[in-house]
Amino acid sequence: MSKRDVAVLAAARSAIGSFGGSLADIEPPELAGIVMKEAIARSGVDPLAINYVTVGNTIPTDSRFAYVARVASINAGLSMDSAAMSVNRLCSSGLQAMVTTAQSILLDDCDFGVGGGVEVMSRGGYLSTAMRSGARMGDTRLIDTMAATLTDPFGAGQMGITAENLVTKWGITRQEQDVLAMESHRRAARAIVEGRFKSQIVPIVKQTKKGEVIFDTDEHVRPNTSLDALAVMKPAFKTDGSVTAGNASGINDGAAFLVVADSAAAAAARHNPIARFVSLRSGWCTERNHGEGPIRATRLALKKGGLALYQMDVIESNEAFAAQAIVVARALDHAEDQS
């Protein structure tokens, strides 16, 4: 089998909806289908030429939860003969979906594919496990699948507690966290004003009683965030902690997809790549310090690709909790304003 390279032909995303916000009433397969369809249109690839789709999705939301990838791909115009699969790798489910589709291309299982993810956390369902066998006399329990997904199954607690663990381990101050959080909001707000995200975002058109509403601007950004405002927020997870609602990870809704292809197949069809995959690796760490995962993954990916971090002009590094972002930047020794 000849060596194959994976090219990225197009990318698209929805605007990010806040918890209970503009995307809260859209089911994941519908949102994913809209964004996927636009990504394919931007790529110029015939939807019928795409025969492999992977969608990252984690939180159960409705009766079609198990079919998110399949429904989304058919809604996007793909053939019923195409294959679609959902994957769950928690925070990195969308990234894993991109990797899985890329690996299918590398294995010569397809020439054109789609990878990405969708999550509508606002629609996280409630499970009533007692109802299957028949709830007896008395009250029964409902499990919040969204909250359960954000809780470590091995006893480390909520994700916010693992962020507090990083604070303790790495000696991170409340001031450092608040400064990074403020800067993150400032950058995002400036990018919105300058229109830097417009080319990425697929407008979501909603029909309401008041007429047509178009959602095309990230909601979670707080343009007027200040250090003074962040400083008065109380710890959210420990009474003596420093992780607050202001410097913690947001709870949001959204979708994003890439159209990828074998480089030779793309060239033969006269498609112009916008990027290519150079190296793919995943990392791991203890559940108590789960935010350290990107450190190992980055080092492994760089080694595999024969690259070094100093060669990177821009770094896309996950900003969940401010503490986690600080730890990754510190461990990898890159400037925080480089990511």
Distance (Å, whole) CA 113 – CA 100? 10
Residue 284: per-residue pLDDT = 85
Phi and psi, residue 24, nearest 5°: -65, -25
Which residues have a Cβ under 8 Å from the Cβ of 41 and sit 6 or more positions away? none
Cβ neighbours, 10 Å, residue 173: 12
- Asked if 177 and 229 touch (Cβ cutoff 8 Å), the reply is no
pLDDT band of 338, cuts 50, 70, 90: low
Q: Read off the pLDDT of each residue in 49-65 and give the average, rounded to a whole number.
A: 96
- The one-letter amino acid code at 154 reads F
Residue 133: per-residue pLDDT = 85
What the chain holds in terms of domains, given with CATH numbers, is 1-126+251-277 (3.40.47.10)
Residue 23: per-residue pLDDT = 98
Residue 157: per-residue pLDDT = 87
pLDDT band of 2, cuts 50, 70, 90: low
**Residues 191-225: pLDDT tens digits?**
999 999 999 999 999 988 889 999 999 999 999 99
Residue 305: per-residue pLDDT = 96
Least confident range of 81-90, 139-148, 151-160, 262-271: 151-160
Share of the chain above pLDDT 70, in %: 98
**Residues 4-42: pLDDT tens digits?**
999 999 999 999 999 999 999 999 999 999 999 999 999
Distance (Å, whole) CA 59 – CA 62? 10
DSSP 16: P
Cβ neighbours, 10 Å, residue 102: 25
Strands 275-276 and 6-13: antiparallel
Supply angle C-alpha 260, 220, 192, rounded to 5.
70
More confident residue, 53 or 3: 53
Residue 322: per-residue pLDDT = 96
Q: Which two tokens stand for residue 323?
A: 């503490």
Is residue 337 over pLDDT 80?
no
Residue 261: per-residue pLDDT = 99
Residue 286: per-residue pLDDT = 85
pTM assigned to the model: 0.94
Residue 32: per-residue pLDDT = 99
Cβ neighbours, 10 Å, residue 319: 19
Distance (Å, whole) CA 322 – CA 338? 15
Distance (Å, whole) CA 184 – CA 182? 5
Residue 101: per-residue pLDDT = 98
Q: Which two tokens stand for residue 92?
A: 């990195």
- Asked if 170 and 291 touch (Cβ cutoff 8 Å), the reply is no
